[in-house]
Structure 1
């Protein structure tokens, strides 16, 4: 196997220069970067990550914790994060937590034990105190789709409340006069904010009542059950805003079984902007910039790992309305 000395010799640079190039730490001229990259490819050189970690250096491994890998939103995030990690020479370890705090803690303990360089956490159940071990180990963290108030950890979120308002206004513009809302778990910040957006636009209208809000989880089954409950109490509803696309897909199924045509009888819109080509009619949605979220999270984390200056802090991304068949698009 090729060694770092072999790379430095063929590239005509010092071992220290190759090390700076590999660790993304310190100045390396463009000519040297090109020469090193060409030699690494020619020799198929791979750094010995075990030896580097034993020497107190980095393992080039990053943990990505997600609550539900079956939700298409998270594979899109993971793909973007992995693409960005590969550009910087890092490997991503995917940790699916199933919204289980005990499982989250086991993953955190494992990442500390394996000396991960950093962690991206997208979790509905994580609390600030759960990060204590990572802090003590000096492992940087970036939060995705969550915010810890009074905490220094970098958080990346989207305009959830504004998106909820946008969804309801769109349904009103399409002629809806009684709009129901399927809310996700109230323990989740993004879910509460999307419901707040619904309430901001709906409260004060002649049709609004708190009974038009049904509570469920972020699953197709949850949306299906919530839609059945809403139809039983409000058979005259003509619009539905679901807090995520999976619940919206479940609502479409329940409406079809109830003999309601979408969008002629009832118009439906979701939130997330995930790819659900098999759902019919195609779902209108408030789209998050999923790829940009994942890529930015990884770029920020690597900046923290390599101690780059001027690392951006918390960021809120805009959302956009995507109109498809389910609202008459």
Structure 2
């Protein structure tokens, strides 16, 4: 396989001149450039971009840590990240964890070897202190609010959006509310906020009306519907529109009042209320925060879509 020295030897030009042509340096005589490019084509020479990236100190690659990819919540956020990344000629590498803290730590170790110029963390599985020593390798942007740490965050106000949704249910006469949570028996920060807010709005809330069984994907709504039928709830706040849609489909005409999240197409077609957290916008701003490398906290306003 040909290398840069072979091209220099064949063309009669120095290695530094060949290097400037490979790296599109503007100050190269056009005749020399054409000759060197012709030899490169003849030898089928492909530049080692990894080595070039190391010499520049940039990979033009950003890693995105997320639990999984087949979910509307992360799809929307990824759309925003990728739109912004492509505008800046960046590649996006997905780093799914399935909420495994050890797998997340392995991605952080990859980051320390300069595999990525930065990380966007959509949801973390480790405490924030686990990320502390890795900030020296490049920007790390979190897509959730981390108020007690000096880190960059782009997030929505979960407390406010939940409060608006539960007040909607209460104002519609709901007495026995049920909720779905995303992680099986794992009290994440978001779960703690959800439980705190529901008990403020519904002081008599019964913890037995929580569907804990990792209600993440649409099909999980089938089990949730069966659970809520037994609990005899009259209103449900779900953690996603797909779950909400399946619950409504399982109930049929006797369905309780159901609220979804993320305002995707199915909520509009089935005409149920949803919280729009503008996740595409959050993803876009997260990438821009990485490019700007500023430590700031940006809160994106949600909208409650009443139907």
Q: TM-score, normalised by structure 1?
A: 0.71
What is the CA deviation profile of residues 93-140 of structure 1, one whole-angstrom value per residue up to 9, with x for unaligned ones?
11122222232223223333353110001224132343256235x222
* 1:75-114 aligned within 5 A: 75-114=75-114
- What residue number does 2:213 align with? 216
- CA RMSD, Structure 1 to Structure 2 (Å): 3.0
Contact residue 164 and residue 196 of structure 1 kept, 8 A: no
SS in 2 for 1:231: helix
What is the CA deviation profile of residues 149-208 of structure 1, one whole-angstrom value per residue up to 9, with x for unaligned ones?
54222122211121112112222334434332223435322232233222221116xxx4
* Structure 1 position 314 matched with structure 2 position 303: no
- The 1-side partners of 2:144 and 2:283 are apart by 10
Contact residue 145 and residue 155 of structure 1 kept, 8 A: yes
In structure 2, stretches of 5+ residues that fail to align are 1-17, 31-45
- What residue number does 1:151 align with? 149
The equivalent position to 1:252 in structure 2, one of 233, 248, 251, is 248
- The 2-side partners of 1:141 and 1:10 are apart by 41
- What residue number does 2:140 align with? 141
What is the CA deviation profile of residues 35-66 of structure 1, one whole-angstrom value per residue up to 9, with x for unaligned ones?
xxxxxxxxxxx997423333252111110111
Contact residue 158 and residue 318 of structure 1 kept, 8 A: yes
SS in 1 for 2:226: helix
In structure 1, stretches of 5+ residues that fail to align are 12-45, 305-310, 324-328
- What residue number does 1:173 align with? 171
Report which of the two structures shows the higher radius of gyration computed on alpha carbons.
Answer: 2
* 1:290-309 aligned within 5 A: 290-304=279-293
Q: TM-score, normalised by structure 2?
A: 0.76
Contact residue 273 and residue 305 of structure 2 kept, 8 A: yes
- What residue number does 2:270 align with? 281
Contact residue 124 and residue 188 of structure 1 kept, 8 A: no
* 1:198-217 aligned within 5 A: 198-203=198-203, 208-217=205-214
* 1:29-108 aligned within 5 A: 49-55=49-55, 57-108=57-108
- The 1-side partners of 2:196 and 2:292 are apart by 34
Contact residue 285 and residue 322 of structure 1 kept, 8 A: yes
- The 1-side partners of 2:170 and 2:128 are apart by 39
SS in 1 for 2:94: strand
Contact residue 260 and residue 274 of structure 2 kept, 8 A: yes
